[in-house]
Structure formats: structure tokens, C-alpha cells
Amino acid sequence: MGTANIIGLVLGWGLIITSIALGGFDKLKVFWDTPSVCIVFGGATASMLVAYPLGAILKAHNFVLITFTAKDRDSLKVIEQIVTLSEAARREGLLSLENHMEEIDNPLLATGIRMAVDGMSPEVVESIMNTEIDAVNSRHGYGRSIVANFGKYAPAFGMIGTLVGLVLMLADLDPDKVGAGMAVALLTTLYGAILSNLMFLPWADKLGFINDDELQCMDITLKGVIAIQSGENPRVIKQKLLMYLPPSKRPVENEDV
């Protein structure tokens, strides 16, 4: 995921810079204006401080970092582990899974198997695991909303900066400086549009994709634990869980996951 993120940013910025440079490298300096940068970055941050607690804003960089570091969930590996556990439970009994706990590297799967071994009813196990899934979804949604709202406020302050620039230009109107003044005024709108559409909103969408990927893996885990606890045939469990995966990601030979 992180590789695509980097490629997208490099490609996006590259296209913008190249399009400017085609008009002459000397034009690049025209597209930098410190006051415009301050009003877009500073204004968007100010709005976020009004909308969210300070602690949440200070952690915003962590949410962005996730878009660079998150890895695709290996749902097939989870299914393989669930099928292996189901075979052990069918062969040696559900309580024997306590001897396999150290082999489980999936926290939700470990929690579910531990509850099943402890004798909790399937309804209680499912309820607790669903609560965990809902909590993860809620936390991820909160982080995504922070990144998305940065993308929402940046263009707004870009427009505010443009209006401020126009007011200042018209208050001291000089026909010889109208072109330059208009160019500077429009830069804040440009900055806001770039930040929103190349960075913050795409990052928010990436966080949504990561969340969906993790929730699918967690749902597979939930269904697998309940199936093991219910004593279903490992072959049935395997076929049921493989339905979560697109055909291209399912094993060619389904005899062994």
C-alpha cells in the first residue's frame, strides 16, 4: 500500500511541477508565496483545532503515516490457520486448542479461541468479538474523519486567502500591478486544491480501504471461530471462508487451503 502511495504523490507532484516548468523554469518561483502557504496550512489547522480536541490533532500525522506503512491483510493465511485449528479441534476436541495458543499470531483469533476453550457460549463469543470489530471500525473512522476534514478545510482557506488578496489588491489598485496581484491572490486557491485533492482526501480514502480490508479479515476470523466452536467440518469451514476472497485470490486446488 505504501508503495502506491509514494508513486501517486511523486506522479502527482511531478505532473504539476512539469506543467509549470514547461512554461519556463523561471516561472517556478512565481508559484511560491509564503503568506499563501501560511493562510492555507495555518487556517486549516485552526479549523481542525476548533473541530477536534488538541490531542487528536497532534496524532494526525500517525493516521497519515498508516497510509505509508500499512500492509495488505493476508486473509488466506488467516483462513489456513482457522482450518488447521478446526482440524485439531475435530481430531482432539475443542479443549485441545489451548495447546495451540502460542501458534496464533492473530489477536482477535486468539481471543475468540480462548473464549471458546473457556466454555463461553457461541452467542457470548460472537457478541464480544463483534464489539471488538465495532470498536476498531469506530477508531478507524475517527482517524479517517480527521484526515478528510483537513482536506475539506484546506480549499476553504484557499478561497479565503484569495479573497483577502483581492481585497488588498483592490484597496490599493494599480493597473500596472493587477496581473501580479491577481496571480498571488489565486495561489492560495491553488495550494488548497492541491493539498485537498492530491494529499488529504486521497489519504482519507486510503484509510477507508485499509479499514475495509481489516474488517473483512476480522469478519473471517469471527465466522471461523464460531464455526470451530460449533464443530463444523473443516472442509465446510474452508469453503465458507474462501467465499470472502475474490476468485483470483482463492487457491487453485481447494483440497488444501
Q: Tell me what the mean pLDDT of segment 156-160 comes to.
A: 92
Return the ∠ at Cα 163 (arms to 157 and 167), rounded to 5°: 145
Instruction: Tell me if 19 is assigned to some domain.
Output: yes
d(CA 16, CA 22): 10
In terms of C-beta density within 10 A (0-12 exposed, 13-18 middle, 19 or more buried), how is residue 248 classed? exposed
Mean pLDDT along residues 63-88: 91
In a domain, 155, yes or no: no
pLDDT at 256 over 80: no
Report if residue 17 sits inside a domain: yes
- pLDDT at residue 51, rounded to an integer: 94
Tell me what pLDDT residue 179 has: 65
Please give the tally of structural domains in the chain.
1
Asked whether residue 16 is assigned to any structural domain, the reply reads yes
Question: Could you tell me the residue range of the domain that residue 8 belongs to?
Answer: 1-30
Where residue 257 falls among pLDDT bands split at 50, 70, 90? Answer: very low
Structural domain contains residue 251: no
What mean pLDDT is predicted for residues 205-232?
A: 94
CA distances from 168 to 118, 151, 181, 211, 231 (A): 72, 26, 9, 45, 75
Output the pTM of the full model.
0.85
Tell me which residue of 91, 132, 141, 93 sits closest to 110, measured CA to CA: 132
